[in-house]
Amino acid sequence: MKKVILLGVLTLLIADQVNGQNEWAKNDRQNLMDEGMAILSKYEHLVNLKEKKQLIAKCYLDYVTATYSIQKFKNLIDFELADMQKTVLNKCAKENGINLDEKEEVKKVEVKKIDSTETKATKENKATKENIIGHWKTDEDDEFWLSEPDMYKIKYSDGGTAKGSWSLDGNILILKKEKLLMSSEKIYRILDFRNEKFFYQSMKKKSDKFIATRLK
């Protein structure tokens, strides 16, 4: 009798563990929402339609979580993932009166499958002072170095240079250029960060978007 009860308890524990692994946790859902927003940020005609982008991304989130368990989603190969994203986002956009094919994409952002492991998602997909330090090159052929202690240097493609201090506040990168009698700031929002590449836009002119690729 005791063996039967013990077997039943173990069966319930295993079932709970499996169900827990297939549930979409808050962090996983947020990653999906951010993923949808990152893809939509590539479309120039959506730049000033923040609420519309949020509705489309929320529709994408709802579809994925209703259709896939997190394990099934993680098992999608890259082609399946890209095809699903394109189909669902186009459908969600049309439901909100938006045609994603209206204009060409401005920038191509590498969007990878989310990982349900919080530590990996936090370390690889979020800019920190530790992982953003390094030598970078933009898609406009400018090069810049972010180093410790909080100093930066820029070498522009036309031969010009600039230097000063930098800081990171969440996903906001601030470059402060020191001048003789005054200082000036350039402020950027990091839209999507990967260890070897990140996508960002100017806070002053939000239509200005860039991709920086790590050189070393």
pLDDT, one tens digit per residue, over 80-115 is 988 998 899 999 989 888 888 754 444 444 444 544
| Residue 81 to residue 180: CA distance in whole angstroms | 52
Burial class (CB in 10 A: 0-12, 13-18, 19+), 115: middle
| Residue 103 to residue 44: CA distance in whole angstroms | 7
Q: How many residues are there in the chain?
A: 216
Q: What is the DSSP letter of 125?
A: H
**Domain 134-214: which topology?**
Lipocalin (2.40.128)
Q: Where in the chain is the domain with CATH 2.40.128?
A: 134-214
pLDDT surpassing 80 at residue 190: yes
User: Is residue 50 very low, low, confident or very high in pLDDT (cuts 50, 70, 90)?
Assistant: confident
Instruction: Detail the DSSP E strand segments found in the chain.
Output: 134-138, 143-147, 151-155, 161-169, 172-178, 183-194, 197-202, 209-214
Query: Whole-prediction pTM value?
Result: 0.43
pLDDT surpassing 50 at residue 13: no
Q: Which residue has the higher pLDDT, 123 or 145?
A: 145
The pLDDT tens digits of the residues spanning 145-167 come to 999 878 999 998 888 888 889 99
Which residues, 6+ apart, have CB-to-CB distance to 54 below 8 Å? Answer: 37
